[in-house]
């Protein structure tokens, strides 16, 4: 898991406010794309991606100013990673979720558990449902 954490941190370090704006501008397309993922082996992945998309949107729109930028940057980076087609584990079918996507999303959720669980509470969302702890 340590290597995945390093990978995520390195990716998130590249997310400047300008890049974040670009990701947010593509959010409607990304959200639609995430609903098209075949994630039968990772049944909670789509909901987790939607949660992270909401985090990024709410921060960018000023609807939630209590989120640390690093948490938002990691969330934005993972959304861009899942959208991209150059993954650690190559996708044979671009619409099929892979183990690397699931692992990286879980890493971002775990790394930012305190910030994201507080966000979920502020927005009346079930954190345990997102993290699959229930």
Cα separation of 102 and 39, whole Å?
9
Q: What pLDDT is stored for residue 87 in this prediction?
A: 44
What does the mean pLDDT of the chain come to? Answer: 87
Q: What pLDDT is stored for residue 133 in this prediction?
A: 59
Give me the residue label for tokens 């397309």: 29
Interval 90-102: pLDDT, tens:
544 444 557 888 8
Please tell me the least confidently modeled range out of 4-18, 30-44, 77-91, 119-133: 77-91
Buried b (16+ CB within 10 A) or exposed e, 7-43: bbeebbeebeeeebeebbeebeebbebbeebebeebe
User: Residues 97, 35: contact at Cβ < 8 Å?
Assistant: no
At residue 25 the predicted structure's pLDDT band, cuts being 50, 70 and 90, is very high
In degrees and rounded to multiples of 5, residue 114 shows phi and psi of -60, -50
Q: Where are the domains of the chain?
A: 2-131
Higher pLDDT, 90 or 42: 42
At residue 131 the predicted structure's pLDDT band, cuts being 50, 70 and 90, is confident
64 membership: H or E segment, kind and range: none
DSSP 92: S
């Amino acid at each position: 898991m340590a290597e995945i954490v390093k990978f995520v941190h390195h990716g998130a370090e590249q997310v400047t406010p300008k890049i974040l704006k670009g990701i947010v501008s593509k959010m409607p397309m990304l959200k639609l794309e995430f609903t098209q993922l075949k994630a039968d082996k990772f049944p909670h992945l789509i909901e987790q991606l939607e949660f992270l998309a909401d985090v990024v949107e709410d921060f960018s729109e000023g609807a939630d100013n209590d989120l640390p930028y690093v948490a938002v940057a990691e969330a934005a980076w993972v959304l861009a990673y899942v959208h991209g087609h150059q993954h650690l584990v190559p996708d044979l079918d671009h619409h099929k979720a892979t183990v690397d996507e699931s692992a990286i999303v879980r890493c971002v959720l775990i790394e930012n558990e305190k910030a994201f669980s507080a966000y979920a509470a502020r927005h009346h969302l079930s954190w345990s449902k997102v993290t699959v702890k229930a």
